[in-house]
A and B are shown apart, each in its own frame.
Chain A
């Protein structure tokens, strides 16, 4: 199903509004901050560091692209700041909450309310329809099914006609839009995207990137995205490069 590459601003009505000033770069307090973040993996008796003292912060409403070669720790960083993996050392502050000191259950609770994930391989539940995949996130969130929010989000992502289809009946682009809808349905503070265009063709990549950009610009959605795609970074406020488990710079994209 073809959709417009840009989303009319009117379609954002009903979603969480941007702060009063429209952009959030002016807010000083970061919504996401890591300090000396280490993540060590065990390979037999050897500890392999995936993150080695990462210092990184993201302001509310900011969109940040994280780039770097394979194995440099990008995904580990994303999973750690998203609370899916625990930090070995250091601090991970998400909206003022230190994930590094939290139990797995506490991180899960925080993730449920403040973080949305988009993955390269879409990761939709194969047995559920698009509607079910989005609604399950609302169900897990605990507020039950909100039909208004659901309608606004699915319309925003051009999914109205595909809601009763299963992932196997949808194109990659459609699946990723469902995944984005699922990620933002509960109005998370931060959207974390792990190479969301990695499995898409150029056309669908552009659509997804444009949607993410508009979510950021129109709604003030904070986004951290991992990508290998140099063209993708033009959609983001800032680009961060990683190498060997550390951030090597933080250059504004424009």
Chain B
């Protein structure tokens, strides 16, 4: 009976109900998408690094978890010393360069040794890098940049010839010759990191131990360790940012629910008086308001889940290189956060409703 009463109340004011549902939906979608975007990018970056096929990566001492952020490239000749170590099959120096024009992306400057470490690209079209101005793009970058093999692409104030399209998943989305990128970025004979392939994966720890003695001041990580580190907790400030965004989303939902339920309670003052005259006690009134808020929230959560997937589809269509990871865990968390905000937002109106004087409520106009 209470369910029917609440449902009829919600239907009675469709615009207000709709706005409430949309507000909750936006809250849920904000949480799901912000978390999905951060974890999606991190997870996708980790997967791509893992997809290179190396076992170990060597970076400068100042390197963080996010590769490409270090401004102190290492000499390429380190490769020669690495190759002398036991159990090392191949070493690939890579120069990383951020491109921020038309979106943020990491360009890999590579040489032929990259193929030795990675086992080579899977070509969807075209050929491998041969000339200094050659460029490889992965299939998602091609969708994003709308270029084809044979066309030119301007990057770092340089015209590149797109010579091949490769399957995504091997480090970067854009690959250019190492030497050209070194020249363009003023880092001649330098590399940002080295991917190292061991003769057997089980030799990884032994190789790392050797490397640490030879290169004590460098950051040396097993790829599996790197992948496990690619979470928001390992990126300075990211968790705080995500928490702030979630907090903002909760505030939106809470305030809208508060306003919705407060105006509802004011509008239904007489009804509250009627319920009291019938013997409804304060807990009944509080329950009625909170249940109504929860029902509104449930509608908002469902709409929010739909909105999240719709927005993700829209974003991915517009920006194919984006990665938004929507997980059941975070959908549940977002729902719980929204419900918490809704109940919190409705608490004061519920309290106000329960405290209304029955006689005054019955004479309310």
Contact = CB atoms under 8 A, between A and B. Distances in A.
B79 to A, nearest CB: 76
A140 B279 contact: yes
A84 interface: yes
Interface stretch (B179-187, B266-274, B343-351): B266-274
Given A79-B359, A84-B362, A145-B1, A126 B271 contact: yes
A125 B5 contact: yes
A39 B134 CA distance: 95
Contacts of A117: 277-278
A140 B12 CA distance: 22
Given A128-B5, A135-B1, A123 B277 contact: yes
Given A109-B281, A111-B279, A140-B284, A123 B8 contact: no
Contact of B1 (A79, A119, A123, A139): A139
Given A79-B359, A126-B271, A84 B5 contact: no
Contacts of A85: 358-359
Contacts of B322: none
B12 A182 contact: no
B4 interface: yes
Residue among A124, A132, A140, A182 with most chain B CB within 10 A: A140
B170 interface: no
Interface in B27-74: none
A108 interface: yes
Contacts of A126: 12, 271
Interface string A97-139: 0000000010011011101010100011111100010011111
Contacts of A105: 281-282
Given A125-B271, A127-B9, A128-B8, A84 B359 contact: yes
Residue among A79, A115, A136 with most chain B CB within 10 A: A136
B100 to A, nearest CB: 56
B318 interface: no
A241 interface: no
A243 interface: no
Contact of B279 (A112, A119, A123, A135): A112
B361 to A, nearest CB: 9
Interface string B276-291: 1111111010000000
B275 interface: yes
Residue among A105, A112, A145 with most chain B CB within 10 A: A112
Nearest to B273: A123
Given A84-B358, A140-B284, A123 B11 contact: no
A141 interface: yes
Contacts of A132: 1, 4-5, 8
A128 B274 CA distance: 13
Nearest to A85: B359
Contacts of B359: 79, 84-85
A136 B5 contact: yes
B332 interface: no
B279 to A, nearest CB: 2
Interface residues of B, number: 24
Interface string A57-100: 00000000000000000000001001011000000000000000
A123 B2 contact: no
Contacts of B284: 140
Contact of B278 (A79, A127, A136, A145): A136
B277 A84 contact: yes
A84 B274 contact: no
A123 B274 contact: yes
Contacts of A125: 5, 271, 274-275
Interface string B118-158: 00000000000000000000000000000000000000000
Contacts of B275: 125, 136, 140
A124 B274 CA distance: 8
Nearest to B6: A127
Interface in A11-50: none
A84 B4 CA distance: 26
Contacts of B12: 126-127
Contacts of B282: 105, 108
Residue among A85, A127, A141 with most chain B CB within 10 A: A127
B276 A123 contact: no
B362 A119 contact: yes
Interface string B349-364: 0000000001100100
B358 A127 contact: no
Contacts of B11: 127
Interface in B220-270: 270
Given A84-B358, A123-B362, A140 B280 contact: yes
A127 B8 contact: yes
Contacts of B274: 123-125
Contacts of A141: 278-279
Contacts of B1: 132, 135-136, 138-139, 145
Contacts of B280: 108, 112, 140
A123 B365 CA distance: 12
By Cβ-Cβ distance, the 3 closest A-B pairs, closest first, are A112-B279, A139-B1, A127-B8
Given A108-B282, A112-B281, A132-B1, 8 more contacts: A82-B277, A105-B281, A109-B281, A127-B11, A127-B12, A132-B4, A139-B1, A182-B278
11 contacts: A84-B362, A105-B282, A108-B279, A112-B279, A113-B279, A123-B270, A128-B5, A138-B1, A140-B278, A141-B278, A141-B279
Interface of B: 1-2, 4-5, 8-9, 11-12, 270-271, 273-282, 284, 358-359, 362
